[in-house]
Amino acid sequence: MNATKTAMLIAAMTALFMGVGFLLGGGRGMGIAFVMAAAMNLFSYWNADKMVLRMHGAREVDARTAPEYYRIVEELTARAGLPIPRVYLMENDQPNAFATGRNPENAAVAATTGLLRRLSREEIAGVMAHELAHVQNRDTLIMTVTATLAGAISMLGNFAFFLGGNRENNNPLGFIGVLVAMLVAPFAAMIVQMAISRTREYSADRRGAEISGNPMALASALAKIANAAGRSVNMPAERNPATAHMFIINPLNGQRMDGLFSTHPDTQNRIDALVAIAGEMGQGRFSAPSPTPAAVRQGPWSGNAKPRKGPWG
C-alpha cells in the first residue's frame, strides 16, 4: 500500500513541478520541468536519505563511538525484527530525531545531541522505537522523497522572482504567472507534506510503544521535546523547512497549533493517545504528561523527584 501511495505522491509532485514550469515558461518550461522532475525522482529514490542527513550535519556513529545510544537502537531493532539501521548523531541542542531510507534494509535513524542529553534512557528508547516504527511501516521512503521534492518545488517558486523581470521568458501569464508560481508552489508542496505526515505519527507512536513496551516513556519524551523545541532554534531545520515533517516533533520554532499549517498532530493529542495505549497494555492508570515546563521537570515515574539523567549526562 505504501508503495502505491509513494508512486501517487511522486506523480502528484511531478505534475505540480510541471505546472510551475508551465507558468514560468509555457510549453517549453513544462517540458524542461518534466525532465528535471524525472531526474530528481530517480536521484531522490537512491540518494534522498544521504541528502537529508547531510543537510542536518549528521555523522554516523557505532558501538565504539556512541555505545549507549547504539545499544538502545540495537536492542529495539531486535525486538522489532528489523535489520540494524545506520545510526547517526546530529550536533544540535534541540532534542529531536528522525528516520530515513528507502526501505528497512537501507534505513538510518538520527538523533540530536540535545535528545541524548535531556532525556532518560527509557525516553530515548521510546523515541528511537517511534523512528524504527516509521522504518517498519515503510514511511521513510515517502517522507524522505517528499522532503527532497518539496524543497525543489519551493526553490523553483523562488526562482520565479528572478524571472519576473525577464519579458522574453515565454511566460503565458506574465507577472501573474510568476506571482502564482512564487506563492502557490511552496504552499502546495507544504500541503502534500502535511497530508503524508499527520496520521503517520499516530501510527508510529502506537507501533513504537509496542516495540519499546513503554508508551508512557514515549509520552514523557514527546512532552519534553515539544517544550524544548518551542524554546530553541534548530538552524539546519530552519534552513531546510521541507524536512520538518520527518522529525518526531516539528523542529521549526513557534509551530504549536494542531491546525492547517502544522506538519505534526498536536502533541497533547499524541500524549493522550499513548496514555490510552498504556491502559490497553495493562500498565495501569496514568495521567497524561503535558508539554509544559512542569512536564519537563517531572517524569511520569518519579513522583516528586527530578527525572534521572540519561546515560550521556
Output the tens digit of pLDDT for each of the chain's 313 residues.
566 766 777 787 788 778 777 776 778 878 888 888 788 777 777 887 898 999 999 999 999 999 999 999 999 999 999 999 999 999 999 999 999 998 999 999 999 999 999 999 999 999 999 999 999 998 888 877 777 776 676 666 666 555 554 545 555 555 656 666 666 666 666 666 666 667 889 999 999 999 999 999 999 999 999 999 888 899 999 888 878 888 999 998 754 444 445 678 899 999 999 999 999 998 855 555 667 544 433 333 333 333 344 444 3
pLDDT the model gives residue 260: 46
pLDDT at res. 41? 75
Q: What is the pTM of this model?
A: 0.78
Q: Which residues, other chains included, contact 196 with Cβ-Cβ below 8 Å and sequence gap of 6+?
A: 5, 9, 142, 143, 146, 245
pLDDT at 193: 63
Residue 4: predicted pLDDT: 73
Domain count, the chain: 1
Asked whether residue 258 is assigned to any structural domain, the reply reads yes
User: pLDDT per residue over 99-136, tens digit each?
Assistant: 999 899 999 999 999 999 999 999 999 999 999 999 99
For residue 68, the enclosing domain spans 2-297
- Residue 228: inside a domain, yes or no? yes
200 inside domain: yes
**Structural domain includes residue 306:** no
Domain assignment of residue 303, yes or no:
no
Residue 308 is assigned to a structural domain of this protein? no
Q: How far apart are CA 86 and CA 75, in angstroms?
A: 14
> 68 catalytic, yes or no?
no
In a domain, 208, yes or no: yes
In a domain, 311, yes or no: no
Q: Which of 68, 91, 123, 131 is catalytic?
A: 131
